Amino acid sequence: MTLNSAHPSPHRILVVGASFGLLPAAKIAAAGHQVTVVGRADEGAVIAQQGVAIHFSEHHILRPPMGDRGISLATPSQVNPEDFDLAIFAIQEPQAQSRDISDLISRIADRLPVASIMNMPPPPFLKRVPSLPPTLGESAYENRSVWQSIPPERMTLASPDPQAIRPDPARPGHLQVTLASNFKFAPFARPEDQAILARITRDASRLRETWGPVPVHLLTRGSIFTPLAKWPMLVTGNCRCLRMNGGPVSIRDAVNQDLNVSRKIYEAVTVALRATGAPPSSLVPFESYVNATQSLVRPSSLALALEAGATSVERIDILVLNLMQHMNCDPESMKIMAAVSALVERSLVRNRMAAK
């Protein structure tokens, strides 16, 4: 394992989310920085005992150091934001509504720069894109006020393109990477915050193991629109894994079973993003996304959560539909997108009725 030794003092990174968050946490810790991963006390105890292992293939496994020189575990109440240089949020948006996470967000406030790798962009980041309509997320979040303590200039967002799962619930520290794409971060507004992000992404992306370079790079990009490239993918694939009857289908099948419909949604959202000022270089062509879906042989986490009875999920569908309506996208595409959103809503209503 090669550690970056150009800087004598490692950064102290807080990663909120002990599932998907283990992927960037492992790379950053293996590159020589101190990482604290925030999660539930029970899963944290198991991860601390068993260690962390990121499986890229049968023989390509990253095992970062644990403890003070690598990854340590904590609950939200145990975190003092003053002890860290940067926070990475790797949770589902509804999790931010829980008392312990919302309290942590309020304590972070403007004390730390926050880099989100969430599918659902936190509201402070949306405010950094002035060409987006200010009412875009009004109906898409359960409670936007949870995030109001974080100044927009102290938050950035990545396009969370990598895919990873926990194959064995009994080993929560073990992740299987099913799509080794990269995290691509929009820049921070403040140069001092950007300098921290640039260093940890550079160090993590230079990481090598005995078997070679470690996949899933953390990259900084110059465009504020970079993470919005994920929006067409989420509504074309992830949100369409639901079915009226029967269980959810894989992202691959959701996209490829009717490529004409998939193309209509994807390109309509792309056109809407272009209308807000997103440069073509920040967006991903439809054909490239279709190629990537060939590896996505599981249903999306959104579909699996709804199938399991979730009463609250991330509503990226509402966010994108609001954008399409504001930008006057073609009626046929908006009708398709409205049907996708309606199916998510019906699933939530069904689950909420069952929960009562």
What does residue 186 show for φ and ψ, rounded to 5 degrees? -70, 155
Structure tokens at 216: 């899933």
DSSP secondary structure string, 93-156? GGGGGSHHHHHHHHHHTTTS-EEE--SS--HHHHTT-TTS-TTTTTTT-S-GGGGTTS-GGGEE
The conformation of residue 186, written as its DSSP 8-state character, comes to P
Mean pLDDT of 65-89: 97
pTM check: above 0.85: yes
Residue 183: C-alpha distances to residues 141, 228, 268, 345 (Å)? 23, 12, 24, 29
For residues 239 and 141, what is the distance between their CA atoms, to the nearest angstrom?
Answer: 16
**pLDDT top residue among 2 and 53:** 53
Over residues 5-52, the pLDDT tens digits come to 444 699 999 999 999 999 999 999 999 999 999 999 999 999 999 999
Topology given in CATH for the domain delimited by 12-224: Rossmann fold (3.40.50)
The H or E element containing residue 290 is helix 286-293
pLDDT at 8: 60
- Confidence band, pLDDT 50/70/90 cuts, at residue 246: confident
CB atoms within 10 A of CB 1: 14
For residues 222 and 96, what is the distance between their CA atoms, to the nearest angstrom?
Answer: 28
Q: With pLDDT > 70 as the criterion, what percentage of the chain qualifies?
A: 98
Domain boundaries, the chain: 12-224, 227-355
CA angle 320, 325, 326 (to 5 degrees): 95
Over residues 310-335, the pLDDT tens digits come to 999 999 999 999 999 999 999 999 99
pLDDT at 2: 45
pLDDT at 3: 47
Query: Which residues does 134 contact at the CB level (< 8 Å), separation at least 6?
Result: 127
**Residue 88: beta bridge partners?**
15, 115
pLDDT at 4: 46
pLDDT at 356: 87
Q: Are 116 and 105 in contact, with CB atoms under 8 Å apart? A: no
Q: Are 57 and 25 in contact, with CB atoms under 8 Å apart? A: no
The architecture that CATH gives domain 227-355 is: Orthogonal Bundle (1.10)
Kindly report the average pLDDT of the chain as a whole number. 95
Mean pLDDT of 124-129: 96
Q: Are 303 and 347 in contact, with CB atoms under 8 Å apart? A: no
What does residue 179 show for φ and ψ, rounded to 5 degrees? -150, 110
What does residue 354 show for φ and ψ, rounded to 5 degrees? -65, -35
